[in-house]
Amino acid sequence: MPSHKSFRTKQKLAKAQKQNRPIPQWIRLRTDNTIRYGSLDALHARDAYNAKRRHWRKTRIGI
């Protein structure tokens, strides 16, 4: 990743950074805890309620 990034690349990185967080707890309360996208086999606390969580080293964004 170059130190001088284009604005388009910077926008894409910022969007990926904002998406990479757990869903808010009030949404789980509002939906009676029915939003559950993680697989039941690999039930981790952070993966169970946001299937799009991304680790910076394991999964690349694809820029």
Q: Could you tell me the CA-to-CA distances from 31 to 11, 27, 36 in Å, in that order?
A: 31, 6, 10
The domain of 51 spans 22-55
Structure tokens at 43: 């039930």
Flag whether 2 is in a domain.
Answer: no
Instruction: Please spell the DSSP secondary structure of 37-56, one letter per residue.
Output: -S-STT--TTTSS-TT---T
Flag whether 37 is in a domain.
Answer: yes
Whole-number pLDDT of residue 36? 66
Whole-number pLDDT of residue 40? 54
Flag whether 11 is in a domain.
Answer: no
Flag whether 36 is in a domain.
Answer: yes
Question: What's the whole-model pTM score?
Answer: 0.68
Flag whether 26 is in a domain.
Answer: yes
pLDDT along the chain (63 residues), means of 10: 94 95 88 69 62 91 89
CA-CA distance, 33 to 5, in Å (whole number)? 40
Whole-number pLDDT of residue 58? 94
Flag whether 45 is in a domain.
Answer: yes
| Residue 36 burial class via C-beta count within 10 angstroms: exposed 0-12, middle 13-18, buried 19 and up | middle
Whole-number pLDDT of residue 47? 61
Whole-number pLDDT of residue 12? 96
Flag whether 38 is in a domain.
Answer: yes
Flag whether 33 is in a domain.
Answer: yes
